[in-house]
Amino acid sequence: MSKIEIENLTVDYVAKNERFTALDDVSFSVGTGEFVSVIGSSGCGKSTLLSIMEGINHPTAGRILIDGKPVEGTGAERGVVFQHYSLFPWMTARKNVAFGVKQVKSDASKKERLKIADRFLKKVGLEKFKNKYPSQLSGGMQQRVAIARALAMDTDILLMDEPFGAIDAKNRTILQELLLSLWEGDGTKERKTVVFVTHDIDEAILLSDKIVMMTGSPGRVYKEIEVPFERPRNRAKLIETNEYNKFRNKLLSLFYSDIRSKIGGEEVVL
């Protein structure tokens, strides 16, 4: 059975008295321990989709099942990382992580929670910065803390909404590799189920088992593509292979053919 089942999800907004369909009959499924990326250009509804999975938005029609049960609101089995503002600015990195742990392990003592926080901050390489406030950390460091918190909460599912979208190219690469190695683990533990929203094709290929490509206005699933590369993956080795380039070109042409059809066909020079 799949971990997450998205069934005929439709979301309508009314803005300035105009009805506007953000998602139109979106369906796909995510298997247990699967890493699925949702990719598409801005405004295709991918973030709306994720916000419904998070439980902070509600669909007009359709539903999402997690372990067979319909999602109603937020849930303790889902951890979330946003692009911005995931952290509470008045808490240090350590307190932010411990606060997350408190919500899932209310019986743990304060000392235990801080211990867990320290362990996960170490995993993301921030043990020296644990007593800093978010305003004292760079954007990349803040996202590391957000990832540490999501992992420390040890939820079955991780929902990530363009977590590296605002990070510079070099740090993004580092963070992608960090996430990859933390998620792949050493094979002794069951992997988490991840839904990862991005607009970066290379990021999607490197990380995912499956890529769900979306098109905009209204948001629909355009293609679902399995990523054929073996794990554990290594970026440097992967990008040198012919298979990678072929696969990447295929994805790019799919991505652009969609845009071309949207804006009126061949006469448009891209």
Partner 1 sequence: MSFKKRYLRTVHLLFIVLLLIHLIPNKLPGDTFGSYVIWFAVGLEVLTLILSAVIKKPLGLNLFLDIVGFIFGFLIIWTLATAKLNIINPALFPPPGKVFKQLIEDNKKIFVNIISSLGIILQGYLLGAVVAIPLGLFLGCSARLGSAATYISKFFGAIPPIVYIPYGIALLPTFRSVSVFVIFLATFWPVLAGTMSGVMNVDKKTIDSAKVLNVNKLSMLFSVILPASLPEIFIGCNQGLTVSFILLTSAEMIGARSGLGYYIKNYSDFGDYTRTLVGLIVIGVVIVFISFLFNKLQKYLLRWKY
Instruction: Give the binding site for partner 1 (CB under 8 A).
Output: 54-56, 74-76, 78-80, 82, 84-91, 99-100, 103-104, 133-135, 153, 159
- 234 φ/ψ sector (left φ>0, alpha ψ -120 to 50, else beta): beta
114 or 174: whose CB is closer to partner 1?
Answer: 114
60 or 74: whose CB is closer to partner 1?
Answer: 74
**Smallest gap from residue 54 Cβ to partner 1 (A):** 5
The number of beta carbons lying within 10 Å of the beta carbon of residue 169 is: 8
155 or 198: whose CB is closer to partner 1?
Answer: 155
**Smallest gap from residue 72 Cβ to partner 1 (A):** 13
138 or 261: whose CB is closer to partner 1?
Answer: 138
Q: Tell me, what amino acid is at 50?
A: L
135 or 188: whose CB is closer to partner 1?
Answer: 135
- As a whole number of angstroms, the distance between CA 116 and CA 131 comes to 15
**Smallest gap from residue 76 Cβ to partner 1 (A):** 5
Residue 182: partners with Cβ closer than 8 Å, 6 or more residues away: 123, 124, 147, 151
**Smallest gap from residue 89 Cβ to partner 1 (A):** 5
42 or 135: whose CB is closer to partner 1?
Answer: 135
**Smallest gap from residue 161 Cβ to partner 1 (A):** 10
4 within 8 A of 65, measured Cβ to Cβ: yes
Please tell me the total number of residues recorded for the chain in this structure.
270
**Smallest gap from residue 175 Cβ to partner 1 (A):** 19
